[in-house]
Amino acid sequence: MTKAQQTTDHEKIRAWIEARRGRPSKVAAKGKSGILRVEFREKDEDLTEIGWDEFFRIFEESNLAFLCQEETAKGEKSRFNKFIDRD
């Protein structure tokens, strides 16, 4: 299994998501900015696509880091990602 990498660099995060044809999205939450997600496939009715500015605003306000994997164990481009607390 290949290792996941952690980053807070906006350009690296955006490049990783766009290289996999992902779109910045969120799950709406009452009274909150929302929970960040990356949408890869067809539109998911539970997710709202958002712009990069809003995506990174929520990312910073929530004090998140992005955990992602470049390749699968078979050497294919991985879509594994997770938003984690920076602390």
DSSP 43: P
Q: Where are the beta strands (DSSP E) in 1-87?
A: 5-7, 23-27, 35-39, 48-49, 64-68, 81-85
Residue 83's pLDDT band (cuts 50, 70, 90): very high
| Selection from 31, 18, 34 nearest residue 81 by Cα | 18
pTM: 0.87
pLDDT tens digits along 12-56: 999 999 999 999 999 976 556 678 999 998 777 788 999 999 999
Q: What distance in Å separates the CA atoms of residue 77 and residue 25, rounded to the nearest whole number?
A: 21
Radius of gyration of the chain (CA): 13
